[in-house]
Amino acid sequence: MRANQLEEYYTFLRFPSISTDRDYADKVAECAHWLVEKLSGIGLETKLVPTPGHPVVWARNEHRSNRRTVMIYGHYDVQPPDPLDLWESPPFEPVLKNGYVFARGATDNKGQIISHIFGIQEALERDGDLPVNVDLVIEGEEEIGSSNLGNFLSQNREALKCDVVVVSDTGMIAPGTPTISYALRGVAALELKVTGPKIDLHSGIYGGAVANPLAAMAKLLASLHDSDGRVAVAGFYDDVKPLEDWEREMWHKLPVDGDAVVLGESGSPELFGEKGYTTLERIWARPTAEINGMGGGYQGQGTKTVLPSYAAAKLTFRLVPNQDGKKVVDLARKHLEKQRPPGVTLEMTSGHAGPWYFTDPHSKFGEAAQRALRKAFDKETALIREGGSIPIVSQFRDILGVETLLIGLALSDCRAHSPNENFPLENLDAGIRMNQAVLQEVSAMS
Ligand code: BES
Ligand code: MN
């Protein structure tokens, strides 16, 4: 790897491009502008496309009608770095330790997308051209649901016509093992607010005579699962496509011990989940209901004898084929309304949603990607599903009519969304090779 590549990667990482926090909107924009400069600097025609939210960066080489077109998609926004005190070095001051770069976004998705940019840059410098037409679409709202990117795709449908989309925002099953993810889970968000008294009350003067919203919320949340870890919302599993034997068998042969990895990386005292499924099957092929946060009452130091006025909670559901996000949220609303304890009101607000994705890893593009990965890694490709979500991928199919190759570079210990996120320089290099091999293989396909 060249020294200036590391410097540029660091510069990219120094922007705190936290999309969810309005206070950082200027930093998100600065990051987008930096990308525009970088991409035009390597010879691509580059535009900053404003949206009602954060801008999209769109770059392309000169398109010729006699060759294929590949769209490379990624995101320059990152998750908030909190909790800050658990970082061993500041999240937006990248450092290199034992071959790993530590910073928020080091993997997800700045490290992964910049390896594509470097791959393109090197090929252009070496060959003066790329083997295919390329559109790079790098957005600033992936971590908040990509709600403005669908419009961007619709408005530029003709110009964005392509043969396939390439995304490196997913995982690698093990270091050095190239991985194609042929499915993503979807996601749908729902916020709850349970309200009792109009203000926080003295729990001695009122306790026992009016309902406690936090107790009511605890009951509501506890009603979401049975004791075996299955979601207890009526109808929740109705549309779930059962896992097929070929997938089960294929995953059994993967060179990874899912239990050990998940137990080790999570640090949980033991594994827990729906009966009848392995750890990887639970994550990749089964839907969930997660409580992402809850609050209310007194949370400061010491004690306070208070009966809180309200309790709040944030939920997200992970969705699998063939569930419909809106239907799942409606079922959850009905369930929660039915379970609402007496003495409180319940308000529910739906949040962002993104559908699941499932594609054929043995399509002609899937096979081309496997050949490219074999070239770049000198190893057979693992075919997996993902537990995470990339909301726009299903719209590449719906709006542009194309499939997506998910060839990720995130390791299981990369700490995406957690403190001390990191990315090995080895994967930055692998990403550069992978980018060039994929563009080559797609151009050479019959
Ligand atoms: N890179 C992840 C998606 C991902 C995670 C893929 C793990 C494969 C394995 C992406 O940036 C992400 O975190 N997406 C969010 C989307 C949500 C906010 C709508 C997610 O999955 O929580
Ligand atoms: Mn990501």
- pLDDT, tens only, 210-247: 999 999 999 999 999 999 999 999 999 999 999 999 99
Q: Whose CA is nearest to atom 20 of ligand 1?
A: 389
- pLDDT, tens only, 383-429: 999 999 999 999 999 999 999 999 999 999 999 999 999 999 999 99
Work out the mean pLDDT of the chain and round it to a whole number: 97
- pLDDT, tens only, 246-268: 999 999 999 999 999 999 999 99
Average pLDDT over every residue of 275-302: 97
CB-ligand 1 contact for 140 (6 Å cutoff)? no
Query: Residue 208's pLDDT is what?
Result: 97
Confidence bin at 41 (pLDDT 50/70/90): very high
The conformation of residue 199, written as its DSSP 8-state character, comes to S
Rounded Cα distance between 151 and 252, Å, is: 40
- pLDDT, tens only, 305-364: 999 999 999 999 999 999 999 999 999 999 999 999 999 999 999 998 899 999 999 999
CB-ligand 1 contact for 142 (6 Å cutoff)? yes
Is residue 431 predicted with pLDDT exceeding 90?
Answer: yes
Query: Residue 155's pLDDT is what?
Result: 98
CB-based contacts of 224, cutoff 8 Å, min separation 6: 231, 232, 233, 289, 291, 315, 332, 335
Query: Residue 386's pLDDT is what?
Result: 97
CA of 388 to the centre of ligand 1 (A): 5
User: Best of 18, 142, 184 to mutate for ligand 1, by most ligand atoms within 8 A of CB?
Assistant: 142
Is residue 3 predicted with pLDDT exceeding 90?
Answer: no
Output the six-digit token pair for 109.
Answer: 């998705």
User: CB–CB of 283/184 below 8 Å?
Assistant: no
CB-ligand 1 contact for 77 (6 Å cutoff)? no
Give the closest residue to 194 by CA, choosing from 155, 161, 168, 220: 220
Query: Residue 446's pLDDT is what?
Result: 84
Q: What's the half-sphere exposure (Cβ side, CA atoms, 13 Å) at 172? A: 27
Query: Residue 2's pLDDT is what?
Result: 80
User: Best of 389, 394, 406 to mutate for ligand 1, by most ligand atoms within 8 A of CB?
Assistant: 389
CA of 206 to the centre of ligand 1 (A): 44
